[in-house]
Amino acid sequence: MNSILRVGIIVDNELNDDPRVSRQIRIFRESGFEIFVLCYGIRGKVYNNIEGVTVERILISRRLKNILFFLLNSFPAYDLLWGGKTARFIKKFRISVLHVNDLYLSKPIYQAIKWSGMGSKMVLDLHENFPAAIKSYNWTKGLIRRFISQPQKWERKETRYLGYADYIVVLSDWFKDSLLKKYNYLAEENLIVFPNYLDLYEMERFDEARRQIEFLKFGTVFLYFGVIAERRGIFTAITAFNQLIGEGLNCQLVIIGPVDRADRPQFNRLIGNERLAGKITYIPWIDVSCLPAYLGISDIGLAPFKKNPQHDSGVSNKIFQYLYGELAVIASDCEAQKEIIENYGCGLVFRSEPELLDSMRKLVNDPESRIRMGRNGKIAVIEELNLDKSKGELISLYSRIRKHPES
C-alpha cells in the first residue's frame, strides 16, 4: 500500500448533511490523507464541492432511497447496490482503508472489498446502537411494516456484521464496554471511542458570521433542535410545556427540525393546541450556520430522548451545541448524556415525566441556576468536550493502520 493513506468514506446519505462525517473529513485532511467519498446524491440537487475531497455520488430519488432501506432485511437490492458501487469505487481510487458509517453497511462493503481484490481494511463507525434504534422507529411498527422491515433480525445480525470490520469506532465508553461484554471475540485494542464533540473551529466561524433572525422573544425560551419523533421524547416535552403555560408561566418553545413522516399527525395535533398559540415556534429546517443565532435567543436546551439502549450508546450532537450556546440543558437519564450533565453541572437530568415537568418549571423560575449551568457547559466544551481534544484515538488508529497495513 502507498505510504500516503487513500481513505474512502462510505455514507448512505447526503454527505453535506452529516456533521460526524464532516469531522472525519477534517481529521483525515489534517493528517495528510487522500480522501474519497462514496455517498448518495438526490437527483436534481446541487451540491457544493469540498476542498481536498473527491466525491462520487450514487444518484437516486429520495423515495427509492427510503424504499431500499425499508426492504433491507427482505430483499437484497440494497446490499447489491452498495456492494457493486463500492467495489468499483475501491478499484478506481485504489482505496487503502474504508471508513464505513453505520452497522448495516458493513456486509455489502465487506463483499465489495472481496470483489475488488484490493485487500482494503474496513473501519466501521457506529453512529448509533442500530439494532436498538431500528426497533424504536415508528415506520417499523404495525403488523405489515414489521413483517416487511423485520427490525428484530438486527439483534441476531449484529454479531456477524461487527465481525466483518477490522476496526470499530463507537460514540462512548459506555457503548464500547457494552459491546466488549456482549461479544467476547471483539479485541479491545481494535475498538476506539470517537464522541460527537463539536468542531469548535466550525462553530466559531458560524458565530463570527452570525445571521440575523426575526424572533420576538418574551420570557424564558426552550429550544429543541434535531429530528422530531416520538422516540426522541419531544412529544413528552411539548405536553409538559403545555402544562407550564396552563400554570401561567411566561415561556416559549422553539422547535427546529424535520418530523418523521409516521409522527407528523401526532406532532401537528400537539403543537396545534389552542393554548399554545403564539407560544410555540416551529421551523422545519435551518442551515447549521444559522444555529448560533437561535442558541443566542434561547435559555434552555431540551434533550428528552426516551431511555433505551440506542440513546444510552452515545451523546447527541445537540447536547454539545446547547453547551456551546451557554444553554442550561434538561436531559433524560440516558447513560452517556447523563454522565456529561452531572459531571459538568450544566443542567438537570430527569427520570420520569413528572421530573421533566419539575425540571422545566425549576429553570424557568430560577434564572441564576440556569445561567450558572450554561456557563459551566460552555467552559466544558471549550476546555474538554471538543473535537481537538477527542480526535487523538482516531488519529492513532489510522497511524497504526498506515504503519502495519497487513495486521
| pLDDT > 90? residue 135 | no
What percent of the chain has pLDDT above 70? 97
Name the pLDDT band for 147 (thresholds 50, 70, 90). low
What does the pLDDT read at residue 1? 44
* Model confidence pLDDT, tens digit, residues 261-270: 889 999 999 9
| pLDDT > 70? residue 134 | yes
What does the pLDDT read at residue 62? 87
What pTM value is reported for the model?
A: 0.88
| pLDDT > 60? residue 2 | no
The answer to whether 6-194+391-403 and 201-383 have equal CATH topology is yes
User: What does the pLDDT average to over 143-161?
Assistant: 83
User: What does the pLDDT average to over 209-227?
Assistant: 88
- Which CATH number among 3.10.350.10, 3.50.50.60, 3.30.930.10, 3.40.50.2000 corresponds to the domain 6-194+391-403? 3.40.50.2000
Q: Report how far residue 51's alpha carbon sits from residue 233's, in angstroms, rounded to the nearest whole number.
A: 38
* Model confidence pLDDT, tens digit, residues 21-45: 999 999 999 999 999 999 999 888 8
Tell me the average pLDDT of the chain: 92
What are the domain boundaries of the chain? 6-194+391-403, 201-383
Q: Report how far residue 351's alpha carbon sits from residue 333's, in angstroms, rounded to the nearest whole number.
A: 6
- Which CATH number among 3.40.50.2000, 3.30.365.10, 3.40.630.30, 2.60.40.10 corresponds to the domain 201-383? 3.40.50.2000
Name the pLDDT band for 205 (thresholds 50, 70, 90). confident
| pLDDT > 80? residue 208 | no
* Model confidence pLDDT, tens digit, residues 102-114: 999 999 999 999 9
User: What does the pLDDT average to over 222-230?
Assistant: 96
Check residues 347 and 15 and name the one with the higher pLDDT. 347
